[in-house]
Structure 1
Amino acid sequence: MELAAPVLVARHSSLPGWPMPSFPDGYPTAQHVVDYLTAYEKRYDLPVHRPVQVTSVIRDGDRMLVHTDSGTWSARHVISATGTWWRPFRPLLDLPGRQLHTVDYRDPLEFAGQRIVVVGGGNSGAQIAADLAPHAELTWMTRRPPRYMPDEIDGKALFDIATRRGSVSGLGDIVAVPPVREARDNGLFMATSMDVEALSGADVVVWCTGFRPALSHLSPLRLRDTDGRVAVDGTTAVDEPRLHLLGYGGWTGPASATLIGVGPTAKVTVAKIAATIRP
């Protein structure tokens, strides 16, 4: 398999109807994605209300009430798309140093010369460790030895596998994007097992420990199982057919937590809702 040309990568993160502009230097930056989403919203004149914090969704006869800090909406159907990136998982450890999560990390120069422990054997852990390695006294901790995917595997290949309902777990845990590959090949970092003494001696611990689905607003409906998920048929809640969930990962559609992956399940969901509300 040949590595996809860098200028094509952005196109594989597009929303329906309008491709993301190519990013000339490889994988698109966060700002490139934000600019694209902002332009997409304007292009299609999407009626987005912001900032709005949804506090709860409840049943109200044959309708659903969505309570927010900006008022209450009454709807025949509700689509919850809060995703998996709003609720960081932070281990509760009493440590003397500063503790951050992936979402708090910004610039490696902020940590120059400090003793930094990065915890997590996935993509975020590897990428942040690679970013910090030239600037800080780095320790990278993982529960097991890092499993790198073959260097020729990129985001497009992973998406193709996931949308075919294939498993990517057998390929490894870490995509060897150029900065990670360079740090690995130059011996700038090596992962070690968990060490409480090293955690206690760190100036900063960066927890790259993932996220949990943001579903607290659905608590009044009492739909979540012991794993914290809502049982779904496709994207429709099994025990509340007026509720639909999009973008929470494989349990709500193949690759549905990605920009391009959410499109097919969104289309099916909207068609299903439209069929039920037609007179």
Structure 2
Amino acid sequence: MTVYGATTSGATSGVASDAGRRVDVLVIGAGQAGLSAAYHLRRRGFAPYRAGSDGGFVVLDADRAPGGAWAHRAPSLRMATVHGFHDLPDFELPEPDPQAPARTVVPGYFAAYEAKHALPVVRPVKVLAVRSASARPDARLLVTTDSGTWSARALINATGTWTRPFLPHYPGRFAGRQLHYAAYRGPEEFTGKRVLVVGGGASAIQVLSEVAAVGETVWVTRTPPVLHDGPFTPEYGRAVVAKVEERVRRGLPVRSVVSVTGLGPSVALRRAEELGALHRRPMFDRLTEHGVAWGDQELAVDAIVWATGFRPEVGHLAPLGLRSPGGGIALTGTRATADPRVHLVGYGPSASTVGANRAGRAAVNEIVALLGAPAGAEGAPGAPAGAAVPVPAVAPG
């Protein structure tokens, strides 16, 4: 698959460097997939890491606060226009205000989840490299971070894609404003302007549905978009995921699920359609000083928003030599085919929130099969009897 401090119940910084910090399982990333994996590790009996202990598990997260990629989404993305969201295991997201910003609601929910299940998330910690301590197949993995080194028997990589926005190369130079969707913060700055939106996924639809209300939009995609009027059936969903998984097994660059399913009905899609923003044009040949061009035809625009997707963040895994001749990391399920100690969750077929949940559980099941169940394994985790863990209230923004 191409996938381009320790304290419980929350996060701290300033963890001292200590090569003796040894755990059974180390999770990198505290987004949906990482939290799901952490939940299932607790459920299968792995203890949260505590300073000075040897064993258990820990979650290292590069952000300063809970939320994963959701904390970095545009303020204009409301819960009503989120392209699907599935609860984490054993804790429902209370019904949110549809107009509340997703970047506030979901991080609040993730923070409450970490607290409810006393998950040992240490932040902010940036993982720099993962290496094997020796050539032995059962050697420990050495995880180098910006605050010291950890040692683990198994690794679950859930670093996501948000930090690696993909910008395709086109000849020419545009003198106006260009930004990737990752830097998009809402339509206000584009009021009265002509904006070119590049991309055929849900992110492009969100931008079109917002910017077309305050300015003029032009939509371009590499291939004609496929729009579905009805809901996706479970059978169709399984067939789509199977197509993505086949590329993963072969170690080829992974395609997003939406690239196979097309665009389903959503609030944003309906709004973009009402605004007349869904008239797609093919990709241009080149950039020009004032816009873009198809052959001799040039179109002047004020700005270009590249909603062209992301590449998984796995550069820190390079020392393990997991890449296949196809250019990606071949996976068997969630396990790196070349190294049974390493699992990748939240990419490709498990990139959706429901897929991330399933991937977290599957990875933990395989790790238990590899390492064995911890001695004295407990039952499912939870808050103390009678305790309530509220999700922070959110006012509409």
TM-score, normalised to structure 1, is: 0.83
**Structure 2 Cα separation of the partners of residues 41 and 121 of structure 1:** 34
Q: Per-residue CA shift, 1:112-163, capped at 9, x if unaligned? A: 112211111222112211210021222111223332111x42xxx4777535
CA distance in 2, matches of 1:97, 1:79: 42
1:10–1:28 CA contact under 8 A, matched in 2: no
TM-fit CA distance, 1:69: 0.5
1:116 aligns to what? Answer: 195
Show the counterpart of 1:187: 276
Which structure 1 segments of 5+ residues have no match?
A: 1-5, 251-255
Counterpart of 2:305?
A: 206
Secondary structure of residue in 2 paired with 1:85: coil
What are the Cα deviations for residues 97-116 of structure 1, in whole angstroms up to 9, with x where unaligned? 12111111111011111221
Alpha carbons 1:117, 1:199 under 8 Å: kept: no
Query: Contact 2:217 / 2:277 at 8 angstroms: preserved in 1?
Result: no
Structure with more relative contact order (C-alpha pairs < 8 Å, separation 6 or more): 2
Partner-residue secondary structure (3-state), 1:77: strand
Matches of residues 78-157 of structure 1 in structure 2 within 5 Å?
78-93=155-170, 94-150=173-229, 152-153=230-231, 157=232
Matched, 1:221 2:309: no
Task: Pick the aligned partner of 1:46 from 97, 113, 119.
Answer: 119
How far the C-alpha of 1:185 sits from its partner, in A, is 3.7
2:358 corresponds in structure 1 to 264
Counterparts of 1:185 and 1:132, CA distance in 2: 13
Decide whether aligned partners of structure 1 residues 18 and 169 sit closer, same or farther in structure 2, where only a CA change above 3 A counts: closer
Indicate if the aligned counterparts of 1:123 and 1:173 stay in contact, CA closer than 8 A: no
- Give the structure 2 partner of residue 234 of structure 1: 333
Residues 201 and 258 of structure 2 are in contact (CA less than 8 Å); yes or no, is this contact kept in structure 1?
A: no
Worse overlay, 52-61 or 193-202? 193-202
Question: Which deviates more from structure 2 when the two are superposed, residues 106-115 or residues 190-199?
Answer: 190-199
Find the residue that maps to 1:41 and give its secondary structure. helix
Sequence identity percentage: 39
- Provide the rounded CA distance (Å) in 2 between the counterparts of 1:163 and 1:67: 38
Q: Which has the higher helix share?
A: 1
Q: Which residue of 1 aligns with 2:22?
A: none
Change (3 A) 1:33 1:224: same
Written as runs of structure 1 = structure 2, the 5 A alignment for 1:7-86 is 13-25=86-98, 29-61=102-134, 62-86=139-163
Q: Are the structure 2 counterparts of residues 52 and 139 from structure 1 closer, same or farther at C-alpha, using a change threshold of 3 Å?
A: same
- Within the candidate set 247, 251, 265, 1:176 is matched to 265
| Number of the residue aligned with 1:277 | 371
Paired residues of 2:336 and 2:342 also in contact (CA < 8 A): yes
Aligned length: 264
In structure 2, give the amino acid aligned to 1:65. L
Counterpart amino acid of 2:370? T
- Deviations along 1:208-260, one digit per CA (max 9) or x if unpaired, are 1111111101111111124442112222212111111111122xxxxx11222
TM-score between the two structures when normalised by the length of structure 2: 0.60
Equivalent residues of 1:64, 1:76 under 8 A apart? yes
Aligned residue type for 2:357: G
User: What amino acid maps onto 1:180 in structure 2?
Assistant: L
* Cα offset, 1:268, TM superposition: 2.6
Would the aligned equivalents of 1:57 and 1:67 in 2 still touch at CA under 8 Å? yes
Residue type of the alignment partner of 1:162: G
